[in-house]
Structures are given as C-alpha cells and as structure tokens.
Amino acid sequence: MINREMFGYGSEKSSIREIAAYAAGRKAAIGADKVYDFSLGNPSTPAPDEVRASIERALTLPSIQLHGYTPAVGLPEARQAVATSLNRRYGTDYAADDLFLTAGAAPALAATFRALVEPGEGAEIIVIAPYFPEYKLWIECAGARCVEVLADQETFDIDVDAVAAALTAHTCAIVVDSPNNPTGAIYPAETLRTLGEALDAAERRFGTKITLVSDEPYREITYGTEVPWIPSIHDRTVVTYSYSKALSLPGERIGWVLVPPTHPEHDELYAAIAGASRTLGHVCAPSLFQRVLIDCVDVPPNVAAYAENREALTSGLGKLGYDYVEPQGAFYLWVRALEPDADAFFQRAKALELLPVPSDSFGCPGWVRVGYCVSHATIVDSMSAWEKLAAHYA
C-alpha cells in the first residue's frame, strides 16, 4: 500500500520547483547565459564572509561538539543569541526558552500548523492570497482547510474586512507574510492593529482562540519601509523565521519558531510545537549552523545588491509598459500578465527562455512572480526577451 495523498504531493511537484528544474535543463542544453530563470528564491548574492569565518572556527571544535546531536530545541547559546538580537531590535524581553531552532522556515511552519490544529474538527487556517504555495500543503497535512482571502488588489495590503468576513468558529490561525512573497508588500502597523482587533472580536464572538502566525524570512530585505514587529501589536502571535534569505543559506536549513511570552498559551503551544516537530522527524537543527548563528545572528543581508536588481527590473519592465507592484521588501516582482490566463502568458515567455512563475499556484490569477535574487546580468540580459514578449501582445 502506498499513501495516495503523499504520492500526489510527490508526483505533482510545486510549479516553482518544476520551472527551476526545466531552467536547469535548458541551461545545460543551450548555455546558462541564454536562459532567464526567475523562478526559485535561491539568493545569488554570496553568503557573508562572517559565515565562512564562523564555519572555519567551528571546524576546530572536537567532533562531538561539531557533529553531535544538540538538544531538540537547539543549543542554549544559539537560542540566547537570537533572543538577545530580537530584544535589542524590538525592545522585547525574550528568553532562549521562547525559541525553538528548526531546519529553516518550512519545518517551523509545518510544526506550528500541526501544533495549532485539532484534526477532524473542521479547523481552518486563513492565508492572504497571493501566498507562498507550500502553506497550503502544510496546512492540509496538519488536518486543516486552507482558506484563501484575497489581498487588496490595488495595494496588496491585507483586506481586513475580507478577513473579518472569512473568520468562523473553525478558524484556528491566520498566516501573515511580510515582506510578502510574492508581492513584496510590507503590511503597515495600522493594518496589523486592525487585523488584531478583528481576530479579538472573532474570538469573543465564537469563544475560540486564533493565533496569528507571522512568517518572516524576508524581514531584513527592505527598501526603506519598516517592518512592524507583530508580537508587539498582537499578543496571540507566533513568529517563524529562516536564514535562507538574509544570510543566503537556503541549502543549509536553519531557522526558528518564536513563541513570545505574551502569547496567552505560551507553555502549551511551545510544547506542542516541540511535539509536532518530533512527529515530523525533527531531531535537531543542523549543529554546525546553530553555531554559525551564535556568530552571525546580526550580520545584515546584501540589500544593496537586491536594490540594484529591483531598480534594473522595475525600470526596464516599466519602460516596456508592464504593470507591476512596487516591492517594498523581499526580492520578487509581481507583474501583471499581458493576458488574463497567467499560464498561457507563461508559455509565451517560456518560448523566449524567460522563466517567471505563473500566479495561479499563489492563489491569485492573472500575474507572474519574477524573482530578482538572480545575478544582475540575468536581469539586464533578459530585457530583449521581455521586449519581444510585450511586442507579441502589442
């Protein structure tokens, strides 16, 4: 017997991964410089020098310290380093024991959803569309229904009235991702305050508890707009984070879940996340990269490189007449497809070796996501293909 649901997840790959694999094949066939792969959020900016220095230092440690198991929750020194950094930046009072280190944001989210959902009771988790497509998979595997609520289609801010209308007695969580993948929107403090009030009102109305899950792997990649610290706005919040983007370490798998002490069910929720992680086969986050955190927790990303790419892409596509959402953070550009069917538009782009991601899997038809964490040359060199694509529709 083979589980049909798991077979389905394994054989229907994510559209982002499928396009990235196609791009790799085309690069091998016709040359890397002739393929414009804007699919995967795999940062081309190198990991900072401090990371290499930290790894080199760690390599001198005794083997058991370097390669041995750590506590499942993570090394106390690494969790303390993260807590100290957050406290300095956000004026909070977090302790090492509020943090659970994970192999990136993906398992942090999968465990958090499992910790919040009582399967078989019709639980619902709200996501703001467009959203990172893997959320749906993790939510459904936790035993909940993924409820998509469209963002404001002008500003791509959260449409709080639409969220309020979607809240039910079954809602157990809402996911907020700011700076947003795929739109680059940063949700203002006022929006988050109003959202918090809507959640509080629903809790009173239904006699339930609704946790805000703030997924923040792009927190430090911003272009002049501040990212509000949500646990200081709404108590029943959990934060998931990853160093995949900020330190360009997506293959190394390191991140965390923070259950702030202000969360009214702090102790139970923290224990449930630990339990859920255990059921998912988590043993500990990679030991070497827990050590890297101790040294590099405050090392900033190379925002200047992304800002330069953002400028080249937005000014280039703007001149060609494309409509896009000005990104305030992260490294994705949300571009309106030149026909209503984003997939058909993608097929035309693909014929020109241009590989963005069509928007349907993000829960929002009619757009494509263009990841600009690529080399600057890829953006500059892709412009003639974007021009041909626009000319096709002129």
Q: Which stretch binds ligand PLP (CB under 6 A): 143-151, 154-162, 242-250, 289-297?
A: 242-250
Which amino acid type is present at position 36? Y
329 binds ligand PLP (CB under 6 A): no
β-strand partners of 124: 145, 171
Rounded (5°) CA angle 347-385-16: 45
Side-chain half-sphere of 297: how many Cα atoms within 13 Å? 21
Residues binding ligand PLP: number (CB under 6 A): 13
Select from 54-62, 67-75, 104-112, 358-366 the region that touches ligand PLP (CB under 6 A).
104-112
Phi and psi based region of residue 275 (left: phi greater than 0; alpha: psi -120 to 50; beta: remaining) = alpha
- Count of all residues that appear for the chain in the document: 394
Cα separation of 198 and 361, whole Å? Answer: 27
Q: Which of 104, 260, 329, 358 contacts ligand PLP by CB under 6 A?
A: 104
123-182: which residues touch ligand PLP (CB under 6 A)? 132, 177, 181
Q: Which of 188, 228, 250, 327 binds ligand PLP (CB under 6 A)?
A: 250
List phi, psi (to 5°) of 63.
-50, -45
CB of 328 to ligand PLP, least distance (A): 15
* Burial zone of 152 (CB within 10 Å; 0-12 exposed, 13-18 middle, 19+ buried): middle
Of 132 and 334, CB closest to ligand PLP: 132
d(CA 383, CA 61): 49
- Contact flag: residue 255 with ligand PLP (CB under 6 A): yes
Minimum CB distance to ligand PLP smaller for 171 or for 244? 244
Residue 302 Cβ vs ligand PLP, minimum distance, rounded to whole Å: 17
Q: In the range 187-226, which residues lie near ligand PLP by CB under 6 A?
A: 215, 217
Sites for ligand PLP among residues 3-62 (CB under 6 A) = 41
H helices within 280-332, ranges in order?
287-296, 303-319
Among 128, 140, 196, smallest CA distance to 166 is for 128
- Part of the chain binding ligand PLP (CB under 6 A), chosen from 103-111, 121-129, 259-267, 381-389: 103-111
Instruction: Kindly tell me which residue out of 106, 123, 210, 355 binds ligand PLP, with binding defined by CB under 6 A.
Output: 106
Q: Which residues pair with 238 in a beta bridge?
A: 213
Per the structure block, which two tokens stand in for 20? 């990235």
- CB closer to ligand PLP, 105 vs 117: 105
Beta bridge partners of 146: 125
82 vs 389 by CB, closer to ligand PLP: 82
Matching residue, tokens 């409509």: 323
Q: Residue 79 CB, nearest distance to ligand PLP (Å)?
A: 17
| Binding footprint of ligand PLP on the chain (CB under 6 A) | 41, 104-106, 132, 177, 181, 215, 217, 242, 244, 250, 255
